[in-house]
Amino acid sequence: MTDPSPKPKLTLILASPRGFCAGVDRAIQIVEMALEKFGPPVYVRHEIVHNRFVVEALERKGAIFVEELNEVPEGARVIFSAHGVPKSVPEEAKRRELIYFDATCPLVSKVHIEAERLHARGLEIILIGHQGHPEVIGTMGQLPEGAVRLIETVADAEAYRPRDAEKLAFVTQTTLSVDDTAEIVAVLQRRFPGIVGPHKEDICYATTNRQDAVKAIAPRADALIVIGAPNSSNSMRLVEVAERAGCPRSVLVQRAADIDWQALGEPHTVGLTAGASAPDILVREVIAAFHDRFDVTIEDVAVARESMQFKLPRSLAG
């Protein structure tokens, strides 16, 4: 009996940091703790984080995901997602006597507070972000309608006409491309030298670290896989960053079953990372799928170590 053909050799380069960030971890814990403390059902407004695997796992434990509060029964418990919500949402929850817990990432809350403070100084607020993203909707909803102008591109920044060029400030979505945002900010600062920016960059540490890690491995990779959801801003940005950093064959997959092996070709080196809302179990699943097809050597490339943790609400932690 002849031996089976040897598997082709492959180096799988793992970007680090990858996967869950502190804000995502906290949000999921809030749902799990609420279910444990109160029992199901616990309602969650919007996906707690943008990952179907996570959402479905919480649904099996008794979480019920809804789009709006009018789907939540009177007196029920509801959790707001990690992306943040407009002020009108907790106001409606109070009016309907719902018991609510806010799982907004503290770094998103920081942007909310920043926008409010800048507005209180009489400044017109520019928000750099993606229209329709829950975080953008939540940030714009902290201030009166019309108080925030959304800018998505360099072209938007060039075309923008403020009410008063001397009274301008900007904040940003936390999950943007670092490089794209820097280009937009540079245009705004060139056009409006007095524009006020955040005290500390709004793009969060996790977004920055994951993009830096992808930049470190992309030039060496024949192909690069990002594990994440198509509605996850930080995951989609990782694909774009990888392409720009030298790996045009970069793709997003939600899990191992989504990998198009034929399109992958016959690579010698594949980069692998995961968006901030993708759990490590999905990374392990993809690694196992590569082991099934290749003689794999694993290389871990770390650009940063993360130790950030956020406190949980006292009402659940107690």
Q: Say whether pLDDT at 228 is over 80.
A: yes
158 vs 59: CA distance, rounded Å:
45
- Please give the structure tokens belonging to residue 37: 């403390």
Flag whether 63 is in a domain. Answer: yes
Q: Say whether pLDDT at 3 is over 60.
A: no
Tens of pLDDT, residue by residue over 7-32, are 999 999 999 999 999 999 999 999 99
Considering the domain architecture, whether residues 210 and 296 belong to the same structural domain is answered as yes
Considering the domain architecture, whether residues 162 and 90 belong to the same structural domain is answered as no
Tens of pLDDT, residue by residue over 120-145, are 999 999 999 999 999 999 999 999 99
Q: Say whether pLDDT at 235 is over 70.
A: yes
Number of domain units in the chain = 3
Flag whether 237 is in a domain. Answer: yes
Q: Say whether pLDDT at 4 is over 70.
A: no
Flag whether 93 is in a domain. Answer: yes
Q: Say whether pLDDT at 231 is over 60.
A: yes
User: What pLDDT is recorded for position 203?
Assistant: 87
Considering the domain architecture, whether residues 290 and 219 belong to the same structural domain is answered as yes
Considering the domain architecture, whether residues 168 and 231 belong to the same structural domain is answered as no
Tell me the mean pLDDT in the region 257-278. 96
Q: Say whether pLDDT at 34 is over 80.
A: yes
Catalytic residue among 32, 71, 135, 243: 135
C-alpha pair distances (Å), 240 with each of 15, 82, 235, 250: 15, 23, 9, 8
Considering the domain architecture, whether residues 139 and 55 belong to the same structural domain is answered as no
Flag whether 14 is in a domain. Answer: yes
Question: Which CATH number covers residue 264?
Answer: 3.40.1010.20
Return the closest-CA partner of residue 159 out of 183, 191, 130.
191
Q: Say whether pLDDT at 271 is over 80.
A: yes
* Alpha carbon of residue 81 to chain centroid: 12
Q: Say whether pLDDT at 201 is over 90.
A: no
Considering the domain architecture, whether residues 186 and 235 belong to the same structural domain is answered as no
Average pLDDT, the chain: 95
Return the closest-CA partner of residue 273 out of 305, 300, 245.
300
Residue that finishes a domain, picked among 73, 105, 137 = 105
Tens of pLDDT, residue by residue over 134-182, are 999 999 999 999 999 999 999 999 999 999 999 999 999 999 999 999 9
Considering the domain architecture, whether residues 294 and 211 belong to the same structural domain is answered as yes
Considering the domain architecture, whether residues 177 and 251 belong to the same structural domain is answered as no
Residue that finishes a domain, picked among 44, 71, 105 = 105
Tell me the mean pLDDT in the region 263-272. 95
Considering the domain architecture, whether residues 165 and 248 belong to the same structural domain is answered as no
Active-site residue flag, 135? yes
Residue that finishes a domain, picked among 162, 191, 220 = 191
Question: Which CATH number covers residue 46?
Answer: 3.40.50.11270
For the chain, give the number of residues: 318
% of residues, the chain, pLDDT over 90? 93
The amino acid at 76: A
- Residue owning tokens 């192909």: 223
Tell me the mean pLDDT in the region 281-294. 97
Flag whether 180 is in a domain. Answer: yes
* Owning domain of residue 161: 107-191
Flag whether 32 is in a domain. Answer: yes
Flag whether 309 is in a domain. Answer: no
Q: Say whether pLDDT at 318 is over 70.
A: no
- Residue owning tokens 């990779």: 221
136 vs 83: CA distance, rounded Å:
8
Tens of pLDDT, residue by residue over 62-90, are 999 999 999 999 999 999 999 999 999 99
Tens of pLDDT, residue by residue over 86-117, are 999 999 999 999 999 999 999 999 999 999 99
Flag whether 308 is in a domain. Answer: no
Considering the domain architecture, whether residues 69 and 123 belong to the same structural domain is answered as no
User: What pLDDT is recorded for position 202?
Assistant: 85
